């Protein structure tokens, strides 16, 4: 018996991610929104709906791509290891991923390249 998931199901999950309005560059994996915004925060950017775009996945399923965030001001020095997405109105930490470790210095800038969250078709 074949497995199937309607694109609308995957899009609903991706829409939830695309409702985020904060991107945090973090020095460690944050455990909460507060942690991402304070304890491990190196740089923060406000996102809008225009920063997200949905499409078919690279291999299967669906994906949401988060647009490049260029020249973010580094607020605190440290090594960036994680990128987190959150919703400020709810103080909800929605999605966390790793990034290539990079030493950042307060007062400089950092660019977060475009990246995607992908949900594969069931197999």
State pLDDT tens for residues 51-102: 999 999 999 999 999 999 999 999 999 999 999 999 998 999 999 999 999 9
Asked if residue 56 belongs to a domain, the reply is: yes
Asked if residue 94 belongs to a domain, the reply is: yes
Range of the domain at 50: 7-119
Report yes or no: 104 and 43 within 8 Å, Cβ to Cβ.
yes
Structural domain total, the chain: 1
Asked if residue 101 belongs to a domain, the reply is: yes
Asked if residue 2 belongs to a domain, the reply is: no
What is the C-alpha to C-alpha distance for residues 18 and 11, in angstroms, rounded to an integer?
Answer: 10
52 closest CA partner among 37, 36, 68 = 68
Helix (H, G, I), strand (E, B) or coil at 49: helix
- On the CB side of 48, CA atoms within 13 Å amount to 1
What is the C-alpha to C-alpha distance for residues 62 and 105, in angstroms, rounded to an integer?
Answer: 36
Asked if residue 30 belongs to a domain, the reply is: yes
Residue 2 is predicted with a pLDDT of 84
| 1, pLDDT greater than 90 | no
pLDDT grade for 21, boundaries at 50, 70 and 90: very high
Asked if residue 55 belongs to a domain, the reply is: yes
Unique residue bearing structure tokens 């709810």: 90
Asked if residue 1 belongs to a domain, the reply is: no
Burial of 74 (C-beta count, 10 Å sphere; 0-12/13-18/19+):
middle
Q: Which residues pair with 119 in a beta bridge?
A: 62
Q: Which residues pair with 103 in a beta bridge?
A: 79
Asked if residue 32 belongs to a domain, the reply is: yes
Give the ranges where 28-122 is alpha helix by DSSP (H): 33-37
């Amino acid at each position: 018996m074949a497995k199937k998931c309607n694109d609308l199901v995957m899009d609903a999950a991706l829409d939830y991610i695309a409702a985020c309005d904060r991107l945090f560059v973090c020095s460690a994996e944050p455990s909460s929104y507060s942690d991402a915004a304070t304890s491990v925060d190196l740089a923060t950017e406000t996102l809008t709906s225009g920063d997200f775009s949905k499409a078919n996945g690279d291999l299967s399923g669906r994906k949401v791509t988060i647009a490049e965030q260029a020249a973010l001001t580094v607020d605190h020095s440290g090594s960036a290891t994680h990128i987190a997405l959150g919703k400020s109105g709810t103080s909800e930490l929605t999605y966390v991923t790793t990034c290539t470790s990079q030493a950042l210095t307060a007062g400089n800038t950092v660019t977060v390249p475009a990246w995607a969250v992908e949900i594969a078709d069931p197999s």
